[in-house]
Structures are given as C-alpha cells and as structure tokens.
DNA sequence: AATGAATGAGCATTCATTCAT
DNA sequence: TATGAATGAATGCTCATTCAT
C-alpha cells in the first residue's frame, strides 16, 4: 500500500511538473506571444529552473506542440462523447458549437494561444491541421452529411464547405471575444451562430 | 520642365523603393513568417542594401504595419466604391464577398501575410483591428442593417453578430485555400458562403 | 570469515566501481574527446547513475587525472621492474621502448587518451608532467647517462636532449599509429626507432 | 591613383580585421585552450564586437582551422623555398629543422596552439593532417630518400619511419620548450637533434 | 540617398554538479 | 551506497539597428 502510494506520487510528480510547464507556457504564450516568450519566462512562471523544462520537453517548440495536441485530443474526444447519444444532426452541431465556445470561453489564455499563436505560422498551422484540426472539421462535416440524410439539411449544399463556414463563424466569435475589452460570455454566441447557420439571414 | 521631371522621378523613385520594400516584405513574410524573416532577407529580395530599408521604414515592425494599412485602405476604399451604386443589401454583400476572395485569391503571398502573419500576435491583431479591420467589419454590419430595413433580412438578428459570421466564414475559406496543396480558385467560394449565409442549411 | 569476506567484497566492490568508471571514461574520452564527453556518457558506459560518479571522483577532471596517474604509475613501476636485471644501457632502452609501444599498442583507447586528450591543454600537460611524465623521461635520461659511462654511447651528447629525442620519436610512432586507418602492429616500430637512435641515418 | 589607393585600403581593412582576429585567437587559445576560450574573449582581445567575429569567420572552430591552414601553408611554402637551392639532403634536413624550430621559437603563442590545442582532438588532428601536416612529413621523407640516393644516408632504413622519427624528435623539443619555465632559445636544439639523427648515440 | 561593416543585446540549450530519497 | 531529478551558470551565435563614408 505504502509502496503503491509512493509509486503513485512519483508517477504523478512527473506528470504534475509537465502539466505545470504547459500551464505556465499557455499563460506566457498568451501574454507575450510564442516568439517573444523566453523559456526562462516559462520556467519562472512554473517555478522551476530553466534547465528543468528540458527534462520534460525537447524544445520550446515542443511545448507549443504539446499544447495543441493536448487541446485537440480532449476537444475531439469530448466532442465525440457529447454527441454520441444525440440523434438529430442539428442537435449534434448545437452541442459541438456550445462545447467549442464553452471550452475556449472558460480559459482565456488557452483561447489566445489557440486563436492567435497557433495561427502565427504556416508551419504551425499545417502541423496543427495534421495534428487534429482536420479531424475536428471532419466531425462537423460528417454531421452535416448525416443531417442531409436525415432530411434536416438541404441536400444541394457541399458539406465540406458548410463545415468550414460553421467553423469559421465560431472561430471568429472566439477571436472577437479575445480581442474585446468588454468581458462578456462567449458561449451564448453559439445559439446566434447556429440560428444564422441553420436558417440564414434572409427573410423567408 | 527638366527640373520638375527630375523632381517627379526622384519623388516616384522614393515611393517606388518603398513599394519595392513592401512587395519584398510580403514575399519574404509569406514564406518564412514575420519573426523568422530577416531584414536582410527583405533588403536582398528588394535588391537594396540592408541599411536602405531604414531610410523608408523605422523598423521591421513598421513594414508589417504598412502592409496592413495599405491593404486595408485599398480594401475598404475599393469596397466602398464597388457597392456604391448597388441598391439591394444582399447584392452589396455579394459584391463585398466576391471582392474579398478575389483580392486575396489573386495574391497568395498577400493572403498568407494577411491570414497568417497578421494573426500571430495579439498586439498585431489589436493594431490591425484599429487600423481598418473594424471599419471593414462595420461596412458589412451596416449593409446587413440596411438589408433589414429593406425587408430583405430577418429583423430578429443582431447585425454585429451576423457581420462576424459572414466575415468568419469568408476568412476560413481563405485560410483553407492557403493551406491547401491543391490549386483551386478561391473566388467561387463566395457564392457558396452567401447561399448558406442567406438561406441557411436547414431544409425549408 | 563471513564478515571479512563481506568486507573484502565491499572493498573490492568500491574499487571495482572506480575501476569501471575509469575504463568507461577511457572509452568515452577516446571516442569523443575530453571536452565533448559528458559525465552522463561515462556513467552510462559504466552502467551506473550519473550521481554515482561523484561518489568516486570529485569532478570530471579528476577522472582524467586518475587515468594519467594510474597509467604513469604502472608505466614507470613496470618499466623499472623490467630493466632492473638488465645490464647494458642499450638493452635497457630497447626494453623501455618496446614496453612503451607494447603497452599503448595493446589498448587503442588508452593510447588515444594518452596521445590526444592529454595534450589538449597546457594545464593537463603541466599536471601530467608533474604527475609522472618527468620521471619517465628521467629514467630514459639516466639510462643514457649509464650508457655513456659504460662506453656504449657517445659522451659528447647531452643525455637530457637525447632522452627527449628518443621519447619524441616513440611518441610520434604512437600518434601516427592512432591516426592511421590501417591496422598494423605498433610494437615492431621500437626496433626501427632504436636503430636510428643508436646508429643514426648517416652512412658510416 | 586615389581610387586605387582607396581600394587598397578597404581591401586591406577587411584582411586586417581578419588578421587581427586570428592574432587575438592565437593569443587567447594559447592561454586558455580552445574549449575554454570564449568567442567574446577573442573579440575583446581583437578590440571588436562579438558579432564582428562572425563577419569574418563562420564559427569559432573555423578560426582554429584558419590558424592551422595559414600556419602550414607558410611553413610548407617557406620550407620548400629554403631548401630549393640546397644540394645535399643532410643540409636540406638541417635547414628544415632549423626553420621548424626558428618559426615556432619565434612565436610562443603560435607554438602553443600548434603543439597543444591542435593535438587536443582527434578530429582536429585528422583535419590538420589532411590540411598540410602530411605534406610536411612527406617533404622530410623525400629528402631522406634523396639522401639515400646521394649515398649520404643508409639505404637499409625506411624513409617513412625516419621522417617520423625526425619530426617526432623536433616536435618534442618544441613541446618541452613550451612547457619549460626557463626561457631558452629553441632553435639551437636543431643541431643537437640532427647530430643524433644523423650519427646516432652509439659510440662508433 | 545609399551603402554595408560594425555593433552588442538577447536567448535557447547544455551539462557538471548537487541532494533528497 | 546509489539514484536520477533538479539546478542554474555558462556561451556560441543571430540579427535588428546604426552610422561613417
């Protein structure tokens, strides 16, 4: 028992420090930007020595990657879980959209890194795209296809284009929220976006 | 006459060189990213000496700002001009959207700088927002308001939100186009975006 | 008995580990050079933890010193033993020279450390000189003096200079052998060196 | 005329700075060793900014290479010139040996870099060997062969081995001179070495 | 205006050494 | 004794900017 607890503690210890570095990096990157952030800023924020960072990450860049990967992983797996039991495609999109905004709305620093730093380099964007973003878009696309089969969505629309439109709209909400000086809730925007996305702005 | 021509030439010469630096910078920033681009890369691309850059720009950052400002200025003034004679708000939005994608679709390097480098720093984004982006969004918003008054658009929608949705959707088209390895025409996407934006994806 | 055996074992164990570290260090230094070798390389090669090295050596530099000292000690004591029973000075020099080349020829890594790493710093060289090299040269010198008294060697020569000449010649053989890609026996070179050293290259 | 003088000056200016860096590096390397020397030490010694070093050399290592190359080039070309008019092989060897010791004896720092830093790494030694050292040894070897043909030197000796013996002996003189605290003239040692090399230590 | 040599502040990363366990 | 995670000082190199010509 004692032994197993010790094992737990040391196991967690390593993970904890890695976690702490990632949290610190999100904070620092969000405030100063990736290129202007110094590794020693991150180490300082995480209250560890500079060199310790390199026991957990191969390089500054790897920290950024880890942030993306971790984020997208949970984004996608949570998203899938959430929509699992939902039948109607429109309800699924609603849940995905809410989740998207809730998640980023709950962690401003994370949102900044996601919206801003990630976009600052084609290299990052491509890697990120490969890392999970493409999969995320694909979930939306599939759901739209489903909706078309369910007779909920128009069949004359290209699901790939629609998925980009929805994502783009949500993404813009997040970006605006980040840049806004006023503090408002991000999540409610999901409903507004979906209203337009589903029904259009044109008067019937 | 000779003197005035000389004056003209040198005046234009100055402008030309400034222009050359901006073109060179767009090219270099697009390929390597702002932070990874060296001033000497830009100077080399513009076929001038490193120091000469500083006769036209105060700093590397100012070059980026100039790119944004120049781009937004023509974007906005051209946009205004284009929609001037158009009556219907939906037609105006169509023209704006087409222009948006045509412009960026015609200059991939510019599009990359606009979509990618510009987003890489909250500082840039805020400055850019102040620089003209806000005005651009506002034109869209006003047009939507007009459409509501014209009875073309639903009156229960918030024009500010709608303008972000439209911009976000268009923006995502551009981003995807940039990242795509396949070479396809960007402009046609305007029609698809507007179809969804106007009519929604839901089956009537 | 059991206790004493245990004591023996731990005593030997300590020596063994020290020995293992030295062997590992010779191997690592030979391959990567002193400055480019990491303590963790040595620890890894010796299959112990990094920190354990410091239970046996005060510093990385001390490991190098230990290598020199150990090497020179056995070099000198073995050399003395070998020539003890020999009467003629020329035969003594022959034995010393053979031993010199046999020793280094039998352990390429050791030879590399001796020839190369040791020479990489004036500090090391001075310390090494103090550590035993001077004594080694002195044995050669004394033997030459003896040879002069025995009427075997010319009396008009300075034994100090002659000892350096012989050592330098042997040393160069070793260095060339190390750098050579061809695998050949080092020891036979002793005869060639001594032939020239004794008789000169001039045709009588 | 004025133009050509200006051209000369600027041409020399670049060379002068390069030269200054090399001189500074020789001084610094001699005192602290290659690995312990900081680029900023060299820059400081040369009274230029750190970054300026990199306008003339690609890396710290390239400075060391330049030192070797420059040294060996002049060593070899001067050596060839000096022995050109000499007929007898033994006189040629005498001139070469004297030159060897005169050269290094005239510049203690250079000698230290040559004798010590150069030997501190197998990598350097191999590169150096390729760079010109092999050619130097070869000149000695050829001269010995000549001497054999001239009937001056014994024909039963291997010229390759003999060349190494002579070089090794001279080299050891230099090394001892460097390490010695007493200030004595190095060049006279050439005669002593050659006496032994030509005639041997054995009493005829 | 134009040049490009010179500057020097800035920073990611390494690694010998320590020390709590 | 042994471990190996943590430390933090140390440094080669880059590059935006300046300035003498």
| pLDDT above 90: percentage of residues in chain C | 75
Is residue B129 located within the same domain as residue B80? yes
pLDDT reported for residue D15? 80
Other C-beta atoms within 10 Å of C29: how many? Answer: 26
Q: What are phi and psi of B202, to 5 degrees?
A: -70, 145
Single out the residue of B96, B76, B77 nearest to residue B86, CA to CA.
B96
Q: What are phi and psi of A63, to 5 degrees?
A: -65, -45
Residue with tokens 């059991």: C2
Residues in Cβ contact with D138 at an 8 Å cutoff, skipping those fewer than 6 apart: D163
Q: What are phi and psi of C55, to 5 degrees?
A: -80, -20
| Alpha carbon distance A112, A128 (integer Å) | 15
pLDDT reported for residue D7? 37
Is residue C129 located within the same domain as residue C99? yes
pLDDT reported for residue C2? 41
Is residue C74 located within the same domain as residue C109? yes
The H or E element that residue D67 is part of is helix D60-84
pLDDT reported for residue B12? 54
Contact, C201 vs D157, CB < 8 A?
Answer: yes
Contact A122 B153 (CB under 8 A): no
C 55-114 residues with CB below 8 A of D? 90, 112
Between these two residues, A100 and A181, which has the higher pLDDT value?
A: A100
| Alpha carbon distance D67, D47 (integer Å) | 19
pLDDT tens for D147-195 read 999 999 999 999 999 999 999 999 999 999 998 888 899 999 999 999 9
pLDDT tens for B156-186 read 999 999 999 999 999 999 999 998 888 899 9
Does residue C8 carry a pLDDT above 80? no
In chain D, what is the greatest distance between 2 CA atoms, to the nearest angstrom? Answer: 69
Nucleotides of E under 7 A from a protein CB: 1-20
Is residue C4 located within the same domain as residue C95? no
Instruction: Output the six-digit token pair for A138.
Output: 């694909």
The verdict on D151 touching C (C-beta cutoff 8 Å) is yes
Contact list in D for residue C35 (CB cut-off 8 A) is 35, 120
Residue nearest to nucleotide F15 (CA to C1'): B38
Q: Flag whether the pTM goes above 0.85.
A: yes
Site from A165, A180, A197, A199 to mutate, B interface, most B CB atoms within 10 angstroms: A165
Single out the residue of A45, A95, A104 nearest to residue A72, CA to CA.
A104
The verdict on A32 touching B (C-beta cutoff 8 Å) is no
Is residue D166 located within the same domain as residue D94? yes
* Partners of chain B (3+ Cβ pairs below 8 A): A
pLDDT in tens, chain B (204 residues): 344 444 444 445 668 899 999 999 999 999 999 999 999 999 999 999 999 999 999 999 999 999 988 888 898 999 999 999 999 999 999 999 999 999 999 999 999 998 888 787 787 787 777 768 889 999 999 999 999 999 999 999 999 999 999 999 999 999 999 988 888 999 999 999 999 999 999 987
pLDDT reported for residue B118? 79
Q: Could you tell me where the DSSP H helices lie in A36-158? A: 39-45, 50-56, 60-84, 89-106, 108-115, 122-128, 134-149
The H or E element that residue B90 is part of is helix B89-106
Cα angle C13, C14, C19 (rounded to 5 degrees) comes to: 95
Query: 3-state SS string over C90-158?
Result: HHHHHHHHHHHHHHHHHCHHHHHHHHCHHHHCHHHHHHHHHHHHHHHHHHHHHHHHHHHHCCCECCCCC
Mean pLDDT computed over C125-154: 90
Residues in Cβ contact with A151 at an 8 Å cutoff, skipping those fewer than 6 apart: B203
CA torsion A36-A39-A45-A51 (nearest 10°) is -170
Is residue C88 located within the same domain as residue C53? no
Last residue of a domain, one of C39, C57, C75: C57
Residue with tokens 């105060």: B58
Is residue A128 located within the same domain as residue A187? yes
Give the nearest nucleotide to D10, CA to C1'.
E5
pLDDT tens for A134-186 read 899 999 999 999 999 999 999 999 999 999 999 999 999 999 999 888 889 99
Is residue D70 located within the same domain as residue D111? yes
Last residue of a domain, one of D15, D41, D57: D57
| Cross-strand pairs, A153 | B202
The secondary structure of residue A117, as a DSSP letter, is G
Contact D201 C164 (CB under 8 A): no
- Please state whether strand F lies within 7 Å of residue D126 at its CB atom: no
Last residue of a domain, one of C10, C32, C57: C57
Is residue A127 located within the same domain as residue A142? yes
Give the nearest nucleotide to B46, CA to C1'.
E2
Question: What is the CATH number for B127?
Answer: 1.10.357.10
At residue A92, the 3 state secondary structure works out as: helix
| Alpha carbon distance C135, A132 (integer Å) | 70
The secondary structure of residue D118, as a DSSP letter, is G
Q: How many domains does chain D have?
A: 2
Is residue A88 located within the same domain as residue A142? yes
User: Domain range for residue A51?
Assistant: 1-57
Most confident of A20-34, A122-136, C109-123: A20-34
- Nearest residue, CB atoms, A179 vs list B125, B176, B189: B125
The verdict on D160 touching C (C-beta cutoff 8 Å) is no
Does residue C148 carry a pLDDT above 50? yes
Give the nearest nucleotide to D49, CA to C1'.
E7
| Alpha carbon distance C176, C170 (integer Å) | 10
Is residue A102 located within the same domain as residue A190? yes
Single out the residue of A159, A146, A200, A154 nearest to residue B196, CA to CA.
A200
Q: Count Cβ–Cβ pairs < 8 Å, chain A vs chain B.
A: 160
Residues in Cβ contact with B194 at an 8 Å cutoff, skipping those fewer than 6 apart: B90, B93, B94, B97
Mean pLDDT over each residue of chain A, to the nearest integer: 90
Q: What are phi and psi of B153, to 5 degrees?
A: -110, 155
Query: Exposed/middle/buried for B104, CB within 10 Å: 0-12, 13-18, 19+?
Result: buried
Question: What is the CATH number for A23?
Answer: 1.10.10.60
| Alpha carbon separation from C76 to C82, D108, D168 (Å, rounded) | 10, 31, 21
- Please state whether strand F lies within 7 Å of residue D198 at its CB atom: no
Residue with tokens 């003239």: D185
| Alpha carbon distance D144, D163 (integer Å) | 7
Q: What are phi and psi of A194, to 5 degrees?
A: -70, -35
Q: What are phi and psi of D202, to 5 degrees?
A: -70, 145
Q: What are phi and psi of B87, to 5 degrees?
A: -90, -60
Other C-beta atoms within 10 Å of A174: how many? Answer: 21
Q: Residue C7: pLDDT band by 50, 70, 90 thresholds?
A: very low
- Our measurement of CA B39 to C1' F21, in angstroms, reads 22
Other C-beta atoms within 10 Å of B77: how many? Answer: 10
How far from the centroid of its chain's Cα atoms is residue D11's Cα? 27
Contact, B168 vs A172, CB < 8 A?
Answer: yes
Is residue D21 located within the same domain as residue D75? no
The secondary structure of residue A34, as a DSSP letter, is T
Query: Exposed/middle/buried for D9, CB within 10 Å: 0-12, 13-18, 19+?
Result: exposed
pLDDT tens for D86-128 read 999 999 999 999 999 999 999 999 999 988 887 877 777 877 7
At residue B32, the 3 state secondary structure works out as: helix
Mean pLDDT over each residue of chain D, to the nearest integer: 90
């Amino acid at each position: 028992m004692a032994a197993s607890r010790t094992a737990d503690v040391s196991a967690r210890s390593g993970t904890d420090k890695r976690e702490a570095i990632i949290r610190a990096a999100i904070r620092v990157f969000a405030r100063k930007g990736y290129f202007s952030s110094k590794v020693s800023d991150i180490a300082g924020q995480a209250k560890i020595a500079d060199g310790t960072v390199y026991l957990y990450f191969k390089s500054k860049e790897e920290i950024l990657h880890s942030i993306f990967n971790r984020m997208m992983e949970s984004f996608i797996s949570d998203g899938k879980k959430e929509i699992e039991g939902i039948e109607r495609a429109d309800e699924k999109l609603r849940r995905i959209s809410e989740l998207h905004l809730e998640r980023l709305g709950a962690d401003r620093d994370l949102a900044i890194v996601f919206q801003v730093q990630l976009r600052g380099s084609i290299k990052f964007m491509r890697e990120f795209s490969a890392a999970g973003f493409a999969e995320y878009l694909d979930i939306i696309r599939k759901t739209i296809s489903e909706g078309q089969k369910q007779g909920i969505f128009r069949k004359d629309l290209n699901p790939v284009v629609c998925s980009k439109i929805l994502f783009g709209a949500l993404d813009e909400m997040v970006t605006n929220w980040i840049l806004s000086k006023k503090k408002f809730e991000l999540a409610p925007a999901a409903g507004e976006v979906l209203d337009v996305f589903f029904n259009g702005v044109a008067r019937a």
